[in-house]
Structure 1
């Protein structure tokens, strides 16, 4: 029996519950492929899953192998799986987890060809954050040329993609970011950066925005303070705290939970290969450091996308 390394949890709790286990290498089932993992990437929501905070609406069975983002090479093809051959470079969002491992089996239907223009490992940063950004910007935010867009939380992994996609279609982008992220956010195309550690966003703006894309958790007070910056007829899209504008504000609002959409992911890959979207990797860590990555994220000490290399 061939074994492989994984990072998984046997119970919920702090980062200490992450264990590095040797388990049998899986075989692909019908409609699945086996991927030799080049990299996964860390998403802060995974820390909430590990802590047990998502069980009410995203229950998982234990033990559970972490990791939703995967980039790798097809190693084996299950019966009926179509569209790929052994050796193909692929990426995908694995809603059942499993990417924090040397190999993972995945439905062929959720995978698409990896970008050709970047290292395969770097492409692992794209699925979860990229899909969230794509749907926030285009599907719900309806960002277009000439729109004035506020990206609240542009320094995170989703924020980098949101900023680039909004600029790609010709919007004016005002981004909030801390001092550690300012240079990266400007490289990604933001027209203006507001240091939220130095002054309030509302005080920094010189007029209302058409669209607010909120990417960070907010207290009720902070959410209420942000709402007036959106003009009447404008839109709020939040991937974190739901924001409810007053009924008389004339502002629409949606709380976005991104879906797994391979067509959207393929469109993102095309933009990466066209040079329109860059993938900003802040660091790469071995699988054995995943618990430490969780700790650093919860302490607010990570920026952008962190790759996890098996």
Structure 2
């Protein structure tokens, strides 16, 4: 029996519950491929899953192998798969986890060809964060040329993609970030950057915005204070704390959860290969450091995306 390394949890708790174990290498079933993992990436939501905070609406069975993002090379093809051949470089979002391993068995229908213009390791940062950004900007936010858009939390992994996609759509992008992220956020297409550590974001704005894209957890008072920055008839999209506008404002509000959509992921890959979208990798770490990366993410001190290499 051929074994492989993987990172799993057997119980919910802090980052110390992450175990690195040897398990049998899987074989692809019908409609699946076996992927040799080049990298996975850290997503803050996985830390919440690890802590048991998502069981109410995203229940998982323990032991659970971490890693929703995957980038790698197809090494074995299951019956019924015609989309890929051995040697293809692929990326995907694995809703059942398992990307934090040397190999992962994945449904072929959830994978797309990896971008050719960036290292395969870096491409692991694209699926979860990129899909969230795409759906926030285009599907829910309906961002278009000429609009003013506020990206609250532009320095994070999702925020970098949101900033770039909103700029790509032709919007005037106002981004909030700390001073350590300002240069990167400007390079990603923000027209203005507000240092959220310097005071209330609303007070720093020069007039209302058409769309607020909120990517960070907020206290209830902070969420309430942010809602009035949107003009009457505008939109609020939040992937974190729900933000409720006043009933008479005419502002629509959506608290969204991104879904897996390979058409959207393929469109993101096209933008990467067209040099219209960059992947901001702040660190590449060995998979053995996964617990430390979880701790760093929970501290709020990460910027961009962190990829983990088996």
- Output the TM-score relative to the length of structure 1: 0.99
**Alignment correspondent of 1:216:** 216
1:162-177 alignment runs, 5 A limit = 162-177=162-177
**Alignment correspondent of 1:85:** 85
Partners of 1:227 and 1:191 in 2: CA distance: 21
Unmatched segments (≥5 aa) in structure 2: none
Displacement of 1:68 in angstroms is: 0.2
Displacement of 1:244 in angstroms is: 1.2
Answering whether residue 19 of structure 2 is matched by residue 19 of structure 1, we say: yes
1:246-285 alignment runs, 5 A limit = 246-285=246-285
**Alignment correspondent of 2:302:** 302
**Alignment correspondent of 2:193:** 193
Answering whether residue 181 of structure 2 is matched by residue 184 of structure 1, we say: no
1:1-16 alignment runs, 5 A limit = 1-16=1-16
Root-mean-square deviation (CA, aligned residues, Å) is 0.6
1:29-108 alignment runs, 5 A limit = 29-108=29-108
Displacement of 1:180 in angstroms is: 1.7
Displacement of 1:157 in angstroms is: 0.3
Partners of 2:151 and 2:174 in 1: CA distance: 6
Displacement of 1:271 in angstroms is: 0.3
Q: Deviations over 1:223-265 (max 9, x none)?
A: 1101110000100000011111111011001011001000000
Q: Deviations over 1:164-209 (max 9, x none)?
A: 0011111000000012211111111100000000121111001000
Partners of 2:180 and 2:67 in 1: CA distance: 26
**Alignment correspondent of 2:151:** 151
Q: Deviations over 1:91-146 (max 9, x none)?
A: 00000000000000000001000001111111000000000000000000000001
Moved more, 178-187 or 279-288: 178-187
Partners of 1:84 and 1:299 in 2: CA distance: 40
| Secondary structure of residue in 2 paired with 1:306 | strand
- Output the TM-score relative to the length of structure 2: 0.99
The structure 1 segments of at least 4 consecutive aligned residues displaced by more than 3 Å after TM superposition are none
Partners of 2:239 and 2:305 in 1: CA distance: 17
| Secondary structure of residue in 2 paired with 1:13 | coil
Provide the aligned length of Structure 1 versus Structure 2.
310
Unmatched segments (≥5 aa) in structure 1: none
